Homo-oligomer: A and B are copies of this chain.
Amino acid sequence: MAHNDGFRPIDRQECLRLLAGVPVGRIVYTRQALPAVLPVNFALDTDTSILLRTATGSDLARAVGGVVVAFEADAFDAANRSGWSVVVTGPATLVTDPAEHERLLRTGPRSWIPVQPDSSVQFVRIEPAMVTGRKLAAS
């Protein structure tokens, strides 16, 4: 891969469609003044914001509330040298409304960790202020 050529930009609608098809993305933020990145399960909410599920009081929850973050998902096929990546950039907020929290426990992103008490779950919402994507077609 190079970075100034060879990739086709993807429009916002296709970006969201691709995001909806993968279970894991990566949140990018700043932790103790250093760049940080963490893979997370996610889901798209009905308004196309990104929803992450983390633990109450986690490093992630403490670091991203109220700040602008990036969120990336991708899929690449090394054999075909093809793939796509999508980056969503926007403010992250912790979900604090109890009704909203209840709704997301039912409909929001699932965890891959078995059995967590509902009370220890913290949802994070990323507003999709900027959505960019690019696709590398098989040559």
Contact = CB atoms under 8 A, between A and B. Distances in A.
- Please classify the interface of chain A as helix (H, G, I), strand (E, B), loop, or mixed, using the class held by over half of its residues: strand
Interface in A20-40: 23-24, 26, 28-30, 34-40
Contacts of A6: 112-114
A41 interface: yes
B23 A78 contact: yes
A89 interface: yes
A106 interface: no
Copies in the complex: 2
A5 B55 contact: yes
B34 A1 contact: no
Contact of A54 (B2, B26, B76): B2
B70 A40 contact: no
Contacts of A58: 2-4
Contacts of A70: 34-37
A116 interface: yes
Interface centre among A6, A37, A54 (most CB of B within 10 A): A37
B111 A68 contact: no
11 contacts: A2-B53, A2-B111, A3-B38, A3-B60, A5-B55, A6-B114, A23-B76, A24-B74, A24-B83, A26-B72, A36-B87
